[in-house]
Chain A
Amino acid sequence: MFSYENYKALYDGVAFFITPINFICLLIAWKSINTRMLLISLITLEAIDTLLTGWSYTLGNNYHFYGVFICSIFLFTVLFRRLLAKLLSKHVKLCNDVYNNFSFSKQEAAITFMYFIVVILHVVALIEVKLYQYDIIDVFPFRNNVFPPSITILHLLEALMLLKLSIRHLPIDEYLQHFKRRLTNDRKLEGTSSYRSSAEDKKDRS
Protein backbone atom coordinates (compact mmCIF):
# COMPACT_ATOMS: atom_id res chain seq x y z
CA MET A 1 0.00 0.00 0.00
CA PHE A 2 2.68 2.50 1.03
CA SER A 3 5.45 0.75 -0.82
CA TYR A 4 8.45 2.68 -2.16
CA GLU A 5 7.54 1.92 -5.78
CA ASN A 6 4.08 3.49 -5.46
CA TYR A 7 5.24 6.76 -3.89
CA LYS A 8 8.81 6.96 -5.18
CA ALA A 9 8.65 10.65 -6.09
CA LEU A 10 7.33 11.64 -2.63
CA TYR A 11 9.80 9.54 -0.65
CA ASP A 12 12.81 10.59 -2.76
CA GLY A 13 11.68 14.22 -2.72
CA VAL A 14 11.51 14.33 1.06
CA ALA A 15 14.80 12.46 1.44
CA PHE A 16 16.67 14.89 -0.80
CA PHE A 17 15.08 18.10 0.46
CA ILE A 18 16.72 17.71 3.87
CA THR A 19 20.02 19.11 2.58
CA PRO A 20 18.55 22.44 1.36
CA ILE A 21 16.69 22.74 4.67
CA ASN A 22 20.00 22.24 6.49
CA PHE A 23 21.58 25.04 4.40
CA ILE A 24 18.68 27.39 5.17
CA CYS A 25 18.94 26.57 8.90
CA LEU A 26 22.70 27.19 8.75
CA LEU A 27 22.15 30.66 7.27
CA ILE A 28 19.51 31.49 9.88
CA ALA A 29 21.51 30.15 12.82
CA TRP A 30 24.97 31.35 11.75
CA LYS A 31 25.47 33.42 14.92
CA SER A 32 24.90 30.46 17.23
CA ILE A 33 28.19 28.57 17.28
CA ASN A 34 26.70 25.36 18.66
CA THR A 35 23.95 25.22 16.04
CA ARG A 36 26.45 26.20 13.36
CA MET A 37 28.76 23.33 14.24
CA LEU A 38 25.85 20.87 14.37
CA LEU A 39 24.53 21.92 10.97
CA ILE A 40 27.97 21.90 9.31
CA SER A 41 28.48 18.35 10.65
CA LEU A 42 25.06 17.22 9.40
CA ILE A 43 25.57 18.83 5.97
CA THR A 44 28.96 17.10 5.65
CA LEU A 45 27.44 13.74 6.53
CA GLU A 46 24.51 14.34 4.15
CA ALA A 47 27.01 15.07 1.37
CA ILE A 48 28.89 11.83 2.10
CA ASP A 49 25.59 9.92 2.22
CA THR A 50 24.49 11.42 -1.11
CA LEU A 51 27.81 10.49 -2.72
CA LEU A 52 27.50 6.92 -1.47
CA THR A 53 23.81 6.53 -2.44
CA GLY A 54 24.61 5.04 -5.86
CA TRP A 55 27.02 2.53 -4.35
CA SER A 56 24.59 1.64 -1.55
CA TYR A 57 21.92 0.59 -4.07
CA THR A 58 24.38 -1.94 -5.54
CA LEU A 59 24.43 -3.72 -2.18
CA GLY A 60 20.98 -5.13 -2.95
CA ASN A 61 19.69 -7.15 0.00
CA ASN A 62 22.53 -5.84 2.18
CA TYR A 63 21.46 -2.19 1.72
CA HIS A 64 20.17 -1.99 5.28
CA PHE A 65 23.64 -2.74 6.67
CA TYR A 66 24.71 0.52 5.06
CA GLY A 67 21.55 2.21 6.44
CA VAL A 68 22.37 1.11 10.00
CA PHE A 69 25.98 2.22 9.60
CA ILE A 70 25.28 5.69 8.20
CA CYS A 71 22.44 6.42 10.63
CA SER A 72 24.69 5.39 13.53
CA ILE A 73 27.29 7.90 12.28
CA PHE A 74 24.62 10.62 12.29
CA LEU A 75 23.55 9.58 15.79
CA PHE A 76 27.08 9.66 17.18
CA THR A 77 27.80 13.02 15.53
CA VAL A 78 24.83 14.63 17.28
CA LEU A 79 25.15 12.86 20.62
CA PHE A 80 28.94 13.16 20.94
CA ARG A 81 29.31 16.60 19.35
CA ARG A 82 31.29 17.85 22.37
CA LEU A 83 33.82 15.04 21.91
CA LEU A 84 34.07 15.87 18.21
CA ALA A 85 34.65 19.54 19.11
CA LYS A 86 37.37 18.51 21.59
CA LEU A 87 39.15 16.38 18.95
CA LEU A 88 39.07 19.22 16.39
CA SER A 89 39.62 22.10 18.84
CA LYS A 90 43.33 22.40 18.08
CA HIS A 91 42.76 22.64 14.34
CA VAL A 92 39.46 24.54 13.99
CA LYS A 93 38.72 27.72 15.95
CA LEU A 94 34.96 27.16 15.80
CA CYS A 95 35.38 23.75 17.47
CA ASN A 96 37.55 25.32 20.18
CA ASP A 97 34.84 27.93 20.88
CA VAL A 98 32.14 25.25 20.88
CA TYR A 99 34.10 23.03 23.30
CA ASN A 100 34.56 25.93 25.73
CA ASN A 101 30.94 27.08 25.38
CA PHE A 102 29.12 23.83 24.74
CA SER A 103 25.37 23.55 24.91
CA PHE A 104 23.12 20.62 24.06
CA SER A 105 19.59 21.72 23.30
CA LYS A 106 16.40 19.74 23.68
CA GLN A 107 15.86 19.87 19.92
CA GLU A 108 19.13 17.95 19.53
CA ALA A 109 17.81 15.44 22.06
CA ALA A 110 14.71 15.00 19.90
CA ILE A 111 16.89 14.57 16.79
CA THR A 112 19.00 11.98 18.65
CA PHE A 113 15.84 10.04 19.50
CA MET A 114 14.67 10.17 15.87
CA TYR A 115 18.03 8.92 14.56
CA PHE A 116 17.86 6.02 16.98
CA ILE A 117 14.37 5.13 15.73
CA VAL A 118 15.71 5.21 12.16
CA VAL A 119 18.48 2.78 13.16
CA ILE A 120 15.87 0.46 14.71
CA LEU A 121 13.75 0.64 11.55
CA HIS A 122 16.76 -0.29 9.40
CA VAL A 123 17.56 -3.23 11.70
CA VAL A 124 13.99 -4.57 11.54
CA ALA A 125 13.90 -4.14 7.75
CA LEU A 126 17.26 -5.92 7.47
CA ILE A 127 16.03 -8.87 9.55
CA GLU A 128 12.88 -9.13 7.44
CA VAL A 129 14.80 -8.97 4.14
CA LYS A 130 17.22 -11.66 5.31
CA LEU A 131 14.33 -13.90 6.43
CA TYR A 132 12.78 -13.44 2.97
CA GLN A 133 16.12 -14.03 1.23
CA TYR A 134 16.56 -17.39 2.97
CA ASP A 135 12.91 -18.41 2.24
CA ILE A 136 11.85 -18.35 5.88
CA ILE A 137 9.03 -15.91 5.09
CA ASP A 138 7.18 -15.36 1.81
CA VAL A 139 6.46 -11.63 2.01
CA PHE A 140 8.09 -8.59 3.61
CA PRO A 141 5.25 -6.27 4.66
CA PHE A 142 7.32 -4.15 7.05
CA ARG A 143 9.90 -3.30 4.39
CA ASN A 144 7.14 -2.60 1.83
CA ASN A 145 4.50 -0.74 3.81
CA VAL A 146 5.91 0.52 7.11
CA PHE A 147 9.55 1.38 6.46
CA PRO A 148 9.22 4.00 3.65
CA PRO A 149 6.48 6.18 5.24
CA SER A 150 8.11 5.95 8.70
CA ILE A 151 11.45 7.16 7.35
CA THR A 152 9.70 9.97 5.45
CA ILE A 153 7.80 11.12 8.56
CA LEU A 154 11.01 11.06 10.60
CA HIS A 155 12.82 13.10 7.93
CA LEU A 156 10.04 15.71 8.07
CA LEU A 157 10.16 15.83 11.88
CA GLU A 158 13.93 16.20 11.75
CA ALA A 159 13.61 19.13 9.36
CA LEU A 160 11.08 20.79 11.68
CA MET A 161 13.33 20.29 14.70
CA LEU A 162 16.31 21.80 12.88
CA LEU A 163 14.23 24.81 11.83
CA LYS A 164 13.03 25.24 15.41
CA LEU A 165 16.58 24.99 16.72
CA SER A 166 17.91 27.51 14.21
CA ILE A 167 15.40 30.22 15.20
CA ARG A 168 15.81 29.94 18.95
CA HIS A 169 18.35 31.81 21.09
CA LEU A 170 20.48 29.60 23.28
CA PRO A 171 21.51 31.22 26.59
CA ILE A 172 25.18 30.36 26.05
CA ASP A 173 25.13 32.10 22.65
CA GLU A 174 23.57 35.23 24.18
CA TYR A 175 26.40 35.25 26.73
CA LEU A 176 29.00 34.75 23.97
CA GLN A 177 27.58 37.54 21.79
CA HIS A 178 27.50 39.90 24.79
CA PHE A 179 31.09 38.91 25.69
CA LYS A 180 32.31 39.49 22.12
CA ARG A 181 30.51 42.85 21.91
CA ARG A 182 32.13 43.91 25.18
CA LEU A 183 35.53 42.76 23.92
CA THR A 184 35.06 44.77 20.70
CA ASN A 185 34.02 47.87 22.69
CA ASP A 186 37.01 47.51 25.01
CA ARG A 187 39.35 47.27 22.02
CA LYS A 188 37.75 50.35 20.44
CA LEU A 189 38.20 52.29 23.68
CA GLU A 190 41.81 51.18 23.94
CA GLY A 191 42.37 52.25 20.36
CA THR A 192 40.76 55.64 21.04
CA SER A 193 42.72 56.21 24.23
CA SER A 194 46.01 55.18 22.60
CA TYR A 195 45.22 57.55 19.67
CA ARG A 196 44.50 60.35 22.13
CA SER A 197 47.68 59.71 24.12
CA SER A 198 49.78 59.62 20.92
CA ALA A 199 48.06 62.82 19.71
CA GLU A 200 48.80 64.49 23.06
CA ASP A 201 52.43 63.33 22.84
CA LYS A 202 52.76 64.89 19.41
CA LYS A 203 51.23 68.13 20.72
CA ASP A 204 53.66 68.20 23.67
CA ARG A 205 56.62 67.62 21.37
CA SER A 206 55.54 70.39 19.04
Chain B
Amino acid sequence: MKDQNHQAGILKTLWKELAVAVKLIREDSGYSKSELGKKLVPSVSEETISAWEEGHELIPIYQLLLICFVCGFTSGKESQTTIKKSAY
Protein backbone atom coordinates (compact mmCIF):
# COMPACT_ATOMS: atom_id res chain seq x y z
CA MET B 1 0.00 0.00 0.00
CA LYS B 2 2.85 2.34 0.95
CA ASP B 3 4.70 1.42 -2.27
CA GLN B 4 1.58 2.16 -4.36
CA ASN B 5 1.17 5.56 -2.68
CA HIS B 6 4.87 6.30 -3.25
CA GLN B 7 4.60 5.32 -6.93
CA ALA B 8 1.49 7.48 -7.36
CA GLY B 9 3.43 10.39 -5.79
CA ILE B 10 6.34 9.95 -8.22
CA LEU B 11 3.99 9.77 -11.22
CA LYS B 12 2.15 12.89 -10.05
CA THR B 13 5.45 14.75 -9.74
CA LEU B 14 6.56 13.70 -13.24
CA TRP B 15 3.14 14.65 -14.62
CA LYS B 16 3.42 18.12 -13.07
CA GLU B 17 6.92 18.56 -14.52
CA LEU B 18 5.66 17.67 -18.01
CA ALA B 19 2.87 20.24 -17.63
CA VAL B 20 5.36 22.96 -16.65
CA ALA B 21 7.70 21.97 -19.50
CA VAL B 22 4.93 22.06 -22.14
CA LYS B 23 3.81 25.53 -21.03
CA LEU B 24 7.35 26.92 -21.13
CA ILE B 25 8.09 25.31 -24.52
CA ARG B 26 4.95 26.81 -26.02
CA GLU B 27 5.68 30.28 -24.62
CA ASP B 28 9.28 30.18 -25.80
CA SER B 29 8.34 29.16 -29.31
CA GLY B 30 5.79 31.98 -29.54
CA TYR B 31 2.70 29.86 -30.21
CA SER B 32 -0.66 30.63 -28.67
CA LYS B 33 -2.68 27.73 -27.28
CA SER B 34 -5.05 27.68 -30.25
CA GLU B 35 -2.19 27.83 -32.79
CA LEU B 36 -0.38 24.95 -31.11
CA GLY B 37 -3.60 22.93 -30.88
CA LYS B 38 -4.14 23.25 -34.64
CA LYS B 39 -0.58 22.09 -35.37
CA LEU B 40 -0.98 18.81 -33.49
CA VAL B 41 -2.21 15.58 -35.10
CA PRO B 42 -5.05 15.09 -34.29
CA SER B 43 -5.69 18.76 -33.61
CA VAL B 44 -6.82 19.66 -30.11
CA SER B 45 -8.72 22.58 -28.67
CA GLU B 46 -7.33 25.48 -26.66
CA GLU B 47 -9.10 24.08 -23.59
CA THR B 48 -7.23 20.77 -23.93
CA ILE B 49 -3.88 22.58 -24.15
CA SER B 50 -4.84 24.59 -21.03
CA ALA B 51 -5.78 21.38 -19.23
CA TRP B 52 -2.40 19.85 -20.15
CA GLU B 53 -0.46 22.95 -19.04
CA GLU B 54 -2.29 23.22 -15.72
CA GLY B 55 -1.87 19.50 -15.00
CA HIS B 56 -5.59 18.67 -15.04
CA GLU B 57 -5.13 16.14 -17.84
CA LEU B 58 -2.25 13.82 -18.68
CA ILE B 59 -0.53 14.64 -21.97
CA PRO B 60 -0.38 11.60 -24.29
CA ILE B 61 3.25 10.69 -25.05
CA TYR B 62 2.82 11.03 -28.83
CA GLN B 63 1.30 14.52 -28.38
CA LEU B 64 4.18 15.50 -26.11
CA LEU B 65 6.63 14.45 -28.81
CA LEU B 66 4.66 16.33 -31.45
CA ILE B 67 4.72 19.44 -29.25
CA CYS B 68 8.50 19.05 -28.85
CA PHE B 69 8.88 18.66 -32.62
CA VAL B 70 6.53 21.51 -33.60
CA CYS B 71 7.85 23.97 -31.02
CA GLY B 72 11.47 22.85 -31.32
CA PHE B 73 11.84 23.02 -35.07
CA THR B 74 9.31 25.73 -36.00
CA SER B 75 8.28 28.98 -34.38
CA GLY B 76 5.09 30.91 -34.02
CA LYS B 77 4.86 34.70 -34.00
CA GLU B 78 8.07 36.31 -32.81
CA SER B 79 8.08 35.99 -29.06
CA GLN B 80 8.64 39.31 -27.38
CA THR B 81 11.74 39.33 -25.25
CA THR B 82 10.03 41.01 -22.35
CA ILE B 83 11.37 40.76 -18.88
CA LYS B 84 9.04 38.40 -17.03
CA LYS B 85 9.06 40.04 -13.65
CA SER B 86 8.65 43.78 -13.55
CA ALA B 87 10.54 44.24 -10.29
CA TYR B 88 12.46 47.14 -11.79
Contact = CB atoms under 8 A, between A and B. Distances in A.
A175 B83 contact: yes
A172 B68 contact: no
A175 B75 CA distance: 23
Interface of A: 79-80, 82-83, 102-113, 116, 161, 169, 171-172, 174-175, 178-179, 182
The 4 A-B residue pairs whose C-beta atoms are closest, nearest first, are A110-B72, A104-B24, A109-B72, A113-B68
A82 B21 contact: yes
Given A83-B13, A178-B88, A179-B87, A110 B81 contact: no
B69 A178 contact: no
Contacts of A161: 72
Contacts of B82: 171
Chain B interface size, as a band, is 20 to 34
13 contacts: A79-B18, A79-B21, A103-B24, A104-B25, A105-B24, A106-B25, A108-B72, A109-B29, A112-B72, A116-B68, A171-B84, A179-B87, A179-B88
B20 interface: yes
A156 B68 CA distance: 18
B13 to A, nearest CB: 7
Given A80-B14, A82-B20, A102-B24, A109 B84 contact: no
Contacts of A110: 68-69, 72-73
A83 B71 contact: no
B47 interface: no
Nearest to B74: A106
Nearest to B31: A106
A107 B29 CA distance: 9
Contact of B72 (A80, A102, A107, A174): A107
Contacts of B8: none
Contacts of B24: 102-105
